[in-house]
Chains A and B, each alone.
Chain A
Amino acid sequence: MDTTFYLIQLLNGIQYGFLLFLVAAGLTLVFGIMGIINLAHGSFYMIGAYLAFWLTQVTGNFLIAIVLATPITVGIGYLVERITFSHLYLRGHLHQVLLTYALILIFDELQLILWGNDFHGINIPEFLSGSIQLTAVQVYPTYRLFISFICIVLAIMMYVMIQKTKLGMIIRAGASNREMVQILGIDIQRLFAIIFSLGVALAAFAGMLAAPITSVYPGMGENILIISFVVVVIGGVGSIKGAFVGAMLVGLVDIYGKTLFPELASVLVYGLMVLILLWRPQGLFGTAS
């Protein structure tokens, strides 16, 4: 257990944190702007992973599969929003919980029908499957670095989109005052559909990236869903910055917890949440509700 070991865990924690960030960013946007609690968000992560698995089999290349799968997930997000969520904006949280819970049941069953109950591995392209030499004995897989790199690029793109573009401006305005945005003549229905599809695509993309590491299996969306909830609670609902900080904290606590206190690893993350809530009930970057 030397410094290199902790360094490797640090890299793993950051990489896990980045994946969590992709999932939690969509979740927090949908919460913050649409006021919708979406339990089915983890299912989109699972759908992404299964699409990547299936398209890799069809095309024979993981990267092509990702490129093909991403637009499909945007389409799925758009359809789900139009068919179900668009009727829910004026309803209470209870109805949203039920509807999204039902979506989980449906997506889980569809996954069973289409792909069965087995675990599936995904092969990654040659140039990503190697390892980087850290010290004489320690190596680090290239693919994990690749994930972190892609996520950094995505995070920067999201930052630019939200801070610098017109759509981003509308999104920020929508998060702080939905009615006012509507009064100003912005088609809020369209905005919701865009945000929802975007959130779905981000979660699915995270699933695709994670698939070669975690392999693809039934129920993979649920673990990530609950952890993403913790991330959003820690960071504060509606705050992308909060989602980022929360994801990194949770990622590091989880990875270090698993190696240092294996028996309590899962509980530690929730312990972190409790501590932060005692200090700031609205989350690190949340505004008081």
Chain B
Amino acid sequence: MVIINRKSFFFSIIFLLLILFPWIIEDSFYLEQLTRILILGIFAMSLDFLVGYTGIVSLGHAAFYGVGAYTLAYSFQSTDATNFWYALPLSLTASALIATIIGWLSIRTSGIYLLMITLAFGQMFYFFYLESSYFNGSDGIFLLNKPEILFGSYNLFDLENEVNLYFFVLGWFIIVFLLLKTILKTPFGQVIQGICVNESRVRALGYPTPRYKLISFVIAGTLAGLAGFLEATHTGFVTPSYSHWHQSGILLVILMLGGVRTLYGPVLGAATIVLLEDLLPEITDHWKLLLGILIILIVLFLPNGTTDLFSRILFRGPIQKANKDHE
């Protein structure tokens, strides 16, 4: 007898709803918002992999988001419509390369140091885009068309169509989710989760922990680059604010709202933030004040994030133990 547990049943329903969404609600505004949530979700999952599963709290994750986006913008300059098969690998390689350098410099430290160093690196990229003459300063770069996914000379999947773009993003979202789930199950994934709990013990077992942390950092950075690539494709617009540290800050808020170390939690967090950014301005002009107070209340009273609360109600009982404090 096959036992379908509540959790996988719940996930299947969600995925089904996501696939059917363009036919359920035929409003392009909501489709656009959902596309945004999914991209932000990919970005947030990549940070959760780093913060929740490896125990590296980074405050400069937006650096890679910016690299992914700016590389796409840069590859546009030579041709009219850039070829997707060439633009995406370029973006991912660039993000991975930058993540390797920043990671190598950052993981030599830990705790508060690591936070500050990643924050400083993030800002370095922000100022680089802002001040360098290549990137059009604070005005940013407009992407006149979307990347073309060519198969021979045939346009396989026209991204100018917003439903197509939605499925394109949804596809990447599912790939990233399954990829991270799989990585976490491999021996490598087990080791980094061990590092998160107690690094010295893992080292004592003979694992070269810095190398594992660096690989984890590069995976997270590359996926953040992917999110940046998708966001640039989606909005058709790249500005230095992609790499501003507020982007990294709000991403940590998203992680916290949804619950660290869950992968799906950050996606719910992303949805919450996008919805709040829609709803709160209707209540008051000073909605950031409300958002700030809300975050403080959550930190003080719901230290495991809101997902913990939901999952207790939905799945009856805590599905996760209280989060370990990241030192």
Q: Which residues of A contact B (CB under 8 A)?
A: 31, 35, 37, 39, 84, 87-88, 90-95, 97-99, 101-106, 108-110, 112-113, 226, 229-230, 232-233, 237, 263-267, 270-271, 273-274, 277-278, 281-283, 289
Contacts and interface: CB of A to CB of B under 8 A. Distances in A.
Interface in B240-271: 245, 249, 252-253, 255-256, 260
B116 A233 contact: yes
A109 B113 contact: no
Nearest to B296: A102
A161 B244 CA distance: 38
Closest 8 CB pairs of A and B: A105-B292, A92-B325, A266-B127, A102-B295, A270-B124, A106-B292, A109-B289, A92-B326
A91 B303 contact: yes
Contact of B131 (A97, A230, A265): A265
30 contacts: A35-B112, A37-B116, A91-B303, A92-B323, A92-B325, A92-B326, A94-B252, A94-B260, A95-B303, A97-B249, A98-B253, A98-B256, A98-B295, A99-B295, A99-B299, A99-B300, A101-B295, A102-B294, A103-B292, A105-B289, A106-B293, A109-B289, A230-B116, A230-B120, A263-B132, A266-B127, A266-B131, A267-B128, A270-B123, A277-B109
Contacts of B326: 92-94
Given A102-B292, A105-B289, A266-B124, 5 more contacts: A94-B255, A97-B57, A105-B292, A226-B123, A274-B105
A109 B292 contact: yes
Interface string B96-117: 0000000001001111110111
Interface in B253-312: 253, 255-256, 260, 286, 288-289, 291-296, 299-300, 303
Contacts of B26: none
Interface string B22-60: 000000000000000000000000000001000001010
Interface hub of A97, A103, A110 (most chain B Cβ within 10 A): A97
B253 A233 contact: no
Contact of A277 (B117, B124, B289, B296): B117
B286 A113 contact: yes
Contacts of A35: 112
Contacts of A103: 292, 296
A277 B101 CA distance: 13
Given A105-B295, A263-B133, A112 B256 contact: no
Nearest to B286: A109
